[in-house]
Structure formats: structure tokens, C-alpha cells
Amino acid sequence: MENISKYLENPKFIQWIFNPDEKTESWWETFGNENPKEKQNIQLARNILSKFKTSDKELSPDEKILLFSKILRQVEEKPQTLKTKRLFVGLLKYAAVAILFFSIGALVFYHQHNFNPQFYSQNLDEPLPGNEAKLIRPNGENILLKEQKSLIEYTQDGQVAINNDTLKTVKTEGKGTPEFNQLIIPYGKTSVILLPDGTRVHLNAGSRFVYPEYFADNNREVFLAGEAFFEVSHDKNHPFIVQTTDLRIKVLGTKFNISAYPSDNVTETVLTEGKVRLEQNNSGFFDSAIDILPGQLASFDRTSRKTNLIQVETENYILWKEGMFKFESTDLSRIAKKLERFYNIRFLYSDAILGTIKISGKLKLDENREEIISRIATAASVSIDKKGESFYEIKR
């Protein structure tokens, strides 16, 4: 009763409600019998989703469920004091949200909760350390990228080349919804991708990038989990949109950096040229978008759901694509995390408070790794001892 959103966001549960067959019926019947405490949650979720069957036909089932589940998540996050109160209010709150959803109209929420449901089917987590870099094409083909820094180039005539090796022609135009490619860059590697519209994307280590075979509608839309620097080709009639799990960044033609690692609590957007507009995916009806100007950093906190806008030295945030880090009065823990991703290593702390030590400096990361780590230790006045091939301990 306290958390039914896990069912509303479960593709297998969605299939059971909207397209039941013998296999899904059997699976959920067995699941209910083996988890009797979940039967009330399952029934409530089923009742809610059933309401969508005869509702607004302009949205697909997945779109409706995605939008509605985001609303439910916000409701569920509000603490209740008494268990009996939770049980009673719980029955009412979903009904109230459903009434609000249908009385105002799904299209109003579609405008506010504008996460592209096509990305919903992708695995959008941060890549695990040590995985191979790879490009997953729409037909399921996995292409391993063995180079430390790979280059993927799409041309307007439909060809794609990886590190100057041309692959077979891909579809560049068509009707309906284009299929998606997924580029996975693990720790220790980077990549550059030139999209069919001329936009250049520099992907940092530990990133996942989802993009269509071709841009079919009014928007050029992609998804990022990780960090990337975008050089967007200008097209006033077709805005370029970068989706993250929390934010939607909309531009026409500009250069900007986004750091949106799922493991980080803060998403940072830094603009070097042009203008971008930032919106929360689950923004409230009265929330407004934030326009970012060159030289500004928009820092979005996932916990407070607040965005802080400040002036910064943009060089500190984009030199990573040149293999350099520059930082000013930055927590040691943040520098260590960047080094972990770049070198595919791990830092352990003898005392967590050491991560709050602030340091400044500039590192050229193509130099000897051990020398780089030694400089960090000197700047922070700590010892960093190697404990294995890829593990280091930070201590006084």
C-alpha cells in the first residue's frame, strides 16, 4: 500500500494490464500467491491502470503510465505520521490524483512531464566500471569499441563510420518512430559522436548515450546518463533536446556541458555559448523553466529538487574533453570521483571526512597516473597508498 509505483513502472505489469496473455496471467498469479502481502498493492495498481483503458486516446499506454507514475511518486514521498492514517489517506490520494489527472486533462501533464517515453524502454543506468565500450544498434548488433577514445560519425546520406571504418548503410529517413542506438562508454574510456544533423557530442567516461537513427519530428531529442559536451548544430525550426533522468535541456544552436551521472546527487549544466532552457521532468504545474546564459552553471539537487544558478569559469567544466582537469577549491571526493571514471580505478577513505578537503589545481591526465595521484595527495596533505592494481586508500 505504501509503494505501488514499482508496479506502475514495471513493463511486465503494464503488459499484463493492457495486453494480457496466458503467460503474463500465469506469472502474476504465481507472484501473488508467493507474495501474499503484495496482493493489496497489486490490486490497487491494477485498478488505477485500468482507468487508462478508456481515457485520452491521444497518449499511448506507456506515456500515460509514465506520466501518472511520476505524479504518484511525488505523492508517496510526502511523509505520513500514523500507519492507520497512511492506509486511509492512501486509498484517497490515488483517487484524488486520478480525478485531477483526468479532469485537467492528460495533455496538460504531458506538457509538464515531458520525458520522452521512448527512452523509457532503454536501460538508462550509469555503465558499470570495467565494461567494454560498445555501440548497440537498433537491430541488436553489438559493436565493441576497443580504442581508448572512439570516434563515431554519421553522414546525411545514411552512412556511419567507427574510427574511420564505414559500416553498412543505416536508415536515415522514414515514417513513424525511428529506432534507437545506445552508446555505452565505461570508466577509463571516452568517445566523440557526430550526429546526422552535424551536432558533435563528446562523451566522458562512465556515460550512456541514447539517440535515434534519424531525427523524424520537430525536435532533435537524445538521452544522456553521464557527462557530455555538446556542440549543437543550429536549426531554428528543430530544437535540440537533451533528456536526463531529472532534467530536459532545450537549445537551438549552442555549446554546453552536462554532468548527469545517476550515482551523483547533483546534475550540472554549464553553458559556454548560446542559450539553453532547463526544465525538470517532473515539474509541478506552476514551476517555471530556467534560462541559462553563457558563463553560468545550473546545479540541480535531486534531493531538494532545487536549481542553483551561478557564474563560473567554464574552462573548469569542459577541459575534461581535452584530457585535463582544472578545479578551484573543490572537494577531494569530487576530484577522486573524476579520476576514478577517467582511469577506471577506486579510492577508499580511512575517514570519510577526508573527502571534504578542498583543493585547487590543474591536471594533464595523459601523464603518468601514479604521478597524478601523488600530486593530488600533496595538494590535499594526505597519503594515497596503492592497495592493488586499481585500488587506492586515502588517509592522513
pLDDT above 70 (res 339): yes
Rounded CA-CA distance 198/155 in Å is: 8
* Together in a domain, 273 and 359: no
* Together in a domain, 137 and 200: yes
* Together in a domain, 185 and 275: yes
Residue of higher predicted confidence among 78 and 369: 369
* Together in a domain, 295 and 335: no
- Tracing cell 507474495 back to the chain, one arrives at 35
pLDDT tens digits for range 340-383: 999 999 999 999 999 999 999 999 988 889 999 999 999 999 99
* Together in a domain, 273 and 168: yes
* Together in a domain, 189 and 266: yes
Q: Which CATH number goes with the domain that contains 361?
A: 3.55.50.30
Determine which of 36-50, 109-123, 205-219 has the lowest per-residue pLDDT on average: 109-123
pLDDT tens digits for range 31-70: 888 888 888 778 777 766 655 544 444 445 445 445 555 5
Residue 337, number of CB atoms within 10 A of its CB: 17
pLDDT above 50 (res 231): yes
- Give the sign of the dihedral formed by CA 62, CA 64, CA 65, CA 71: positive
Asked if residues 150 and 202 have their Cβ atoms less than 8 Å apart, the reply is no
Report the half-sphere exposure of 300 (CA within 13 A, side-chain side): 26
* Together in a domain, 169 and 236: yes
pLDDT tens digits for range 256-315: 999 999 888 899 999 999 989 998 875 544 456 899 999 999 999 988 888 999 999 999
The per-residue pLDDT for 128 is: 61
Give the domain range for residue 256: 130-315
Task: Give the CA distances from residue 173 to residues 42, 148, 258, in Å, rounded to whole numbers and listed in that order.
Answer: 42, 32, 29
What confidence category does residue 96 fall into, taking pLDDT thresholds of 50, 70 and 90?
A: very low
Rounded CA-CA distance 119/273 in Å is: 27
